[in-house]
Each structure stands twice: as C-alpha cells, then as structure tokens.
Amino acid sequence: MAEDNILEVKNLQKHFNLSGERVLKAVDGLNFSIKRGETFGLVGESGCGKSTTGRTIIRLYEATGGQVLFNGEDIHKMSGDKKKKFHRDMQMVFQDPYASLNPRMTVGKIIAEGMDIHGLYSGKQKKERVSQLLRDVGLSEEHAGRFPHEFSGGQRQRIGIARALAIEPQFIIADEPISALDVSVQAQVVNLFKKLQKDRGLTYLFIAHDLAMVKHISDRIGVMYLGKLVEVATSDKLNAKPLHPYTQSLLSAIPIPDPDLQKQRKRVILQGEIPSPLNPPSGCPFRTRCPHAMPECAATMPPFKEVEPGHFAACHLL
Amino acid sequence: MAKPILEVKDLRVSFKMYAGEVQAVRGVSFSLHKGEVLAIVGESGCGKSVTAQTIMRLVPTPPSYIKEGSSILFDGKHEITKMSESQMEHVRGNEMGMIFQDPMTSLNPTMTVGAQISEGIRKHEKVKKAEAMRRAAELLTLVGMSNADERIHQYPHELSGGMRQRVMIALSLACNPKLLIADEPTTALDVTIQAQIIDLLRDIQKKTDTSIILITHDLGVVAEMAHNVVVMYAGKVVERGTLNDIFYNPRHPYTWGLLRSVPRLDSDKNNELDSIPGTPPDLYAPPVGCAFAARCPYAMQVCKEIDPEHFEVSAEHSSACWLLHPDAPKVEMPIEAGRRANG
C-alpha cells in the first residue's frame, strides 16, 4: 500500500506564534496520502489552511509537528544534497501570475533559473530546452526574450508552469493556479495541466476553492475546514454522496450555470461565518454552523475515520 | 408595455491614454424595466464594468469620454450623459445605488458603519441624526445582520468580508433607489458566504421591487438571479435574451464558448474542457469585422470584414453573428452549450 504513495502526510501541524502568546493553528493534524500519478485536490474556504498545507509540504514553512514523507523520506529532516534533490522533485505553481514572476527577468531566464541552480543543462542545450518547454505549455520560442509584463494572465500562468517543469519534477503543488484567470482561460490552463500530467506522469496537489473545477481535475479530493480535514474521497464519490455536512453545504452552495436545475435543487445555506482560527470552537470545528450539531459535537472532536473503503470523514453522525 | 426605467442606446466610452485611445465600450444598447434583474456577463476587459460605472457617471473625465450619440435615459426623464456633476450627485445614492466588488476598499475605514449609512441618508433627506441612525440600524437588520444596534457602532475592520458586503448593500439601499447596480457583488467572497449574499439580494429585490443590473463573469450567479442576460465581448453586446434563451438556446459562438468552458458538477472529467483559444483583441485598435472572429471556430470571410448587426431570434432574443444571416451555412450548436440538464 505504502509503496505507490508518493506523498504521505502524517498528523501535520503548522502553528504560527502571534504577539501576546496567541497561537494560530493554521493546520492542525492532517493525515492523507497521494498516490503516484494522481491528482489530489484540496478545497476549502479562505482561512481554512489549504495554502499553508501546500507551503508546509514543499517546506516553504517548517512544520510544527507531524511528518511529510516524500518517497518514504521525511522532508523536514532532509539536508544538503538530499534537500536539493527534493527541491528538484517537487515544484510549485503559484496563484498570482502577476506577482510570482520576476518583472526584471526575461521569460527565458525565469524558466532557465532552476536549471542553472541544479546544473542541469548549459549553453545551446539549455536554450533548446527552454524553447521546448515554451512549446509544451502552448507558447512559442520567440517569447523567451520577452518580459512578463508583455503577457496576459493566462500566458503568465503558462510561464509559471514551464518554470516548474524545467527541472523535471515528479510532483507539482498548484496553489489556486486558475483563480486569477478568466473562465475561458481557466479551461485552457486546466486542460494544459491534464495534458502535461498524461505526457509526463506527474503527480499534482491541486489547491483551490472552486469545487467544480477541482472536481473536474482531481482523482481524489480532501475538504478542509479550520485547519482540519473533514472529508477525503474520490471526486466522484464526494460529489455523488458527500458524508460530512460541511461538504454537503459546500456542494449545494456552488451556483450551477443551469437555471432549471438551479430552481429544482434544494439548497443548504449555511448560517454565519467561519470562526476565527485563533479561537476555534471546542470539539468539532464545524459545529457552530452545522445544521445537525448535537451536544456531543461540542465535547469531542469526531475521529477521522474510514466510513467506506477510501472514503474518510470526521463527523459524529457517521 | 411600461416604459423602461433605464434605456441605454449606442453607448460608446473611450479612454484617452498616452499610447492612444482605448475603446472600452463600443456601442452598447439595452433597456431595463421596473423589477427586472438584468445580468451583464463577459470576461475581464469586455467593458461591462465601464458600462455600469458610466451609468452612474463614476468614470472620471478625463481620461474617459462618452462619445457623441450615446444616450442613457434614466426613469424616462434624466439624460445621464448630459448631466452635470451636481445633478448627478442628486441621482447617485438617491435614485441609483451601487454595490462594489470589493467591500474591503469601498467602505470608509475611519467611520463607523452607522455613520456611513446615516451620512448617505442625511445627504438626500432632511432628517435628524438620531433618526438617520435608527434607519441605519433598520437597514442592517434588513440585510440580515443581528444586533444591529451594536453593529452600527463598529468599524469596517471589525467585520468579516461577508458582513462588509452586507453593509455595502445596506448603504446602497439607504434611499430606496429605483436602480441598483451590483458590480461583481460576490466575487471576493467564499462560496458559502456568496450563497448567503445572493439569497439576500434576491430577497431584497422581491421585497422592494428594485431593478438590478448585475455585473458578473460567473454564469452560475447569473442562473440564480437574473431574468434577462446581456453577453458582452470586446466592448460590444454580442447576444441578449432571457435567461432561458441564453442558457438553453444560445446563438452566438462566444456564448457557446463561455457556457462550455465552465465545468459542471456532473460533467465527465475524462473529457477536456472546451476552452476558447486565444485572448480577447486589443481595444486600442479593435478589429474591423467581428471582434470575436479571430477566436471563433466558425469564422467566415465576411466576419473578418464587416461587423455583424444584431439578428433577431425572437422579440427578446438577438445575437450579433453572421451565422444567423439567412445566407449563412447552417451550424449545429454544440450540444453541451444548450443542454438542459434533465433532458
């Protein structure tokens, strides 16, 4: 079982210490694994800790507790050559294509920077490789000499993807890679992600708040709420039979671009807002907004258990 | 039929920039009746926000210019394009209200919520401060904020994004406007909060019978709220019709593309999403023919040379596409675009 898992996250915690000895538990005890070659979607509303999870997995943040095993090795214990190798194997595509490309570097330089750091290619070979990457992401080789400001949002995101691919990673974390783009361009970029995965056997951790798009690209999905995973299932199962009340309401909150369907369906509109992660509710974090909350929910955090094979959820109702 | 509350005719707005003239809005016409919710959809840069802001004359001149021949007739008597700033001040807030996309930046951070709402009321009506405050609290209750009497003393930074958007809505409703313009009212919000705000807007629309112009890029939000839809591309209206026309019988290839690029929860994920190749044209030098021709899979020679007029499909439904010309080849509409979910 553990053999085909490229990534295993065990009881991962990331706490931020704030002034006045307050502790913000952005990520609080996550357990999940990602199989080689699959796409794992991580969804949740703003402040639920999904981006912090991604950043802790790639070690932009040091974990407060727990482990992240990449190909069986704890990434937070790596150093030296091993760490360098790890950074080659795992790359990230960021949300904001405007802020994540250096405006003073040409596109060619941006893409080749990683190759230089890892000493992969040089001279003519490097140039050839940059051209190839640009073509792979749907741009042309003439673009190598231009600067980021000459490109549209969608094109910039393609450059960000080419940069991530340049050092031949096995694993890519995409943190809201399409939410800054227009609808028709979002579809282009999602198709590109899927095509690259097919051609190169990549594994993705796809972080987003748009459940419809995540469902389209992911094999399995994890739903987060206030720093905890509340449900993990295959994307078909999650859509057909969501078990956790939060997932149910999240699904029913998505506006469907189909007026008739819209009128027919019953919606669960959640009351209130996400509580502050500085002062989370006792027991189940969702209980303050949950339509089914019971006294038990305030007392203990429901265990994250396997309800059906491959379908995990944390709720006292189950 | 009753007279429309708002009639926009051949609206053209340009921005004079250092590099030349950006033709942001290039001849937009539509009308809005009392109690109607009209959605204007399109992608960034299509001119939907400039259109909305011009209706309230919120785009500063310079750099923007409303071109000769444009007309915005409000309530059958106000010609908005010809009004002075002081005349507009009376219309704004009093007869038209606006809800902005970003509640974080569109509220005054130095004033309490109650002070901001009562300021609006007192600007347009002669009422005492205490009375205005009382009405502010009433409005906050109307938009679903509990303990409004305490909330009026809070500052925007003490509120969450969803709550701030509720304050924005209360603010825009302060003087019972006849027309409400909502510019991407839910884009900055999380889905569960978005659902709350849409519900609220719908509820208020029913209670007050206000006309609403809803500017959005999210077709899901359109399907939930709108009665009629205008689809914009590169500064022009490419299709207009009722909600059902646009979702179930769309006639413009751009509308097809928009509808097909949204994943549905029930869509097959092994299929590629249908995207629209390319990017919108540069509005410094808009193309001579149809602006969508360069990205359109059905483009013909005529599309590149002559910009199509609107062809009527029915009284409420028209589309600016040469495919609707009697001599044009018949094109099958891609099934996904007009599919009814339940057969």
Q: What's A192's domain CATH number?
A: 3.40.50.300
**Which one of B275, B276, B296 would you mutate to disrupt binding with A, by most A Cβ within 10 Å of its Cβ?**
B275
Edge-first strand order for the sheet with B228-233 is B96-99, B179-183, B211-216, B37-41, B228-233, B236-242, B318-319, B311-312
| Residues B224, A255: C-beta atoms closer than 8 Å | yes
Which residue from A minimizes the CA distance to B259?
Answer: A257
Residue span of the structural domain in which A107 resides: 2-313
- Is residue B341's pLDDT more than 60? no
Q: Which chain B residues have a beta carbon less than 8 Å from that of A39?
A: none
pLDDT tens track for A210-261 = 888 888 899 999 999 999 999 999 999 998 899 999 999 988 888 888 888 8
Average pLDDT over residues B276-301: 87
Q: What number of CA atoms fall less than 13 Å from residue B189's CA on the CB side?
A: 27
pLDDT tens track for B132-148 = 999 999 889 888 887 88
- The count of structural domains within chain A is 1
Which residue from A minimizes the CA distance to B145?
Answer: A272
Containing B230, the helix (H) or strand (E) segment is strand B228-233
Q: Which long-range contacts (CB under 8 A, 24 or more apart) does A107-110 make?
A: A107/A134, A107/A143, A107/A144, A107/A145, A107/A146, A107/A147, A107/A148, A107/A151, A107/A159, A108/A144, A108/A145, A110/A148, A110/A159, A110/A163
Q: Which chain A residues have a beta carbon less than 8 Å from that of B294?
A: none
- Is residue B239's pLDDT more than 60? yes
Q: Among partner residues B258, B340, B342, which is closest to A184 by beta-carbon distance?
A: B258
Mean pLDDT of chain B: 87
The Cα–Cα gap between B110 and A287 comes to: 35
Enter the DSSP assignment of B282. P
pLDDT for the residue B337: 63
Enter the DSSP assignment of A173. E
The Cα–Cα gap between A50 and B185 comes to: 25
- Is residue A3's pLDDT more than 60? no
Other beta carbons within 10 angstroms of residue B61's beta carbon come to: 12
**Which one of B146, B224, B265 would you mutate to disrupt binding with A, by most A Cβ within 10 Å of its Cβ?**
B265
Angle value at C-alpha B21, between B15 and B27, nearest 5 degrees = 70
| Residues A235, B258: C-beta atoms closer than 8 Å | no
Q: Among partner residues A187, A213, A258, which is closest to B274 by beta-carbon distance?
A: A187
Distance from CA of A249 to the nearest CA of B (A): 8
The closest alpha carbon to A196, from A132, A239, A249, belongs to: A132
pLDDT tens track for A256-295 = 888 888 888 877 888 877 888 888 898 999 999 998 999 9
pLDDT for the residue B335: 65
Q: Residue A170 domain-assigned?
A: yes
Where does B6-226 sit in CATH, by number?
3.40.50.300
pLDDT tens track for B25-46 = 999 999 999 999 999 998 888 8
pLDDT for the residue A306: 92
Q: Which chain A residues have a beta carbon less than 8 Å from that of B191?
A: 45, 209, 211, 250, 253-254
pLDDT for the residue A258: 85
- Is residue B343's pLDDT more than 60? no
Q: Among partner residues B217, B261, B340, which is closest to A187 by beta-carbon distance?
A: B261
Q: Residue A318 domain-assigned?
A: no
Q: What residues does A256 pair with on adjacent strands?
A: none
Tokens of A277: 């992660």
Q: Which chain B residues have a beta carbon less than 8 Å from that of A269?
A: 192, 195-196, 199
**Which one of B151, B190, B246 would you mutate to disrupt binding with A, by most A Cβ within 10 Å of its Cβ?**
B190
Q: Residue A241 domain-assigned?
A: yes
Q: Write down the domain spans for chain B.
A: 6-226, 232-338
Ramachandran bin of B206, using left for φ above 0, alpha for ψ from -120 to 50, beta for the remaining angles: alpha
Residue A273, amino acid = E
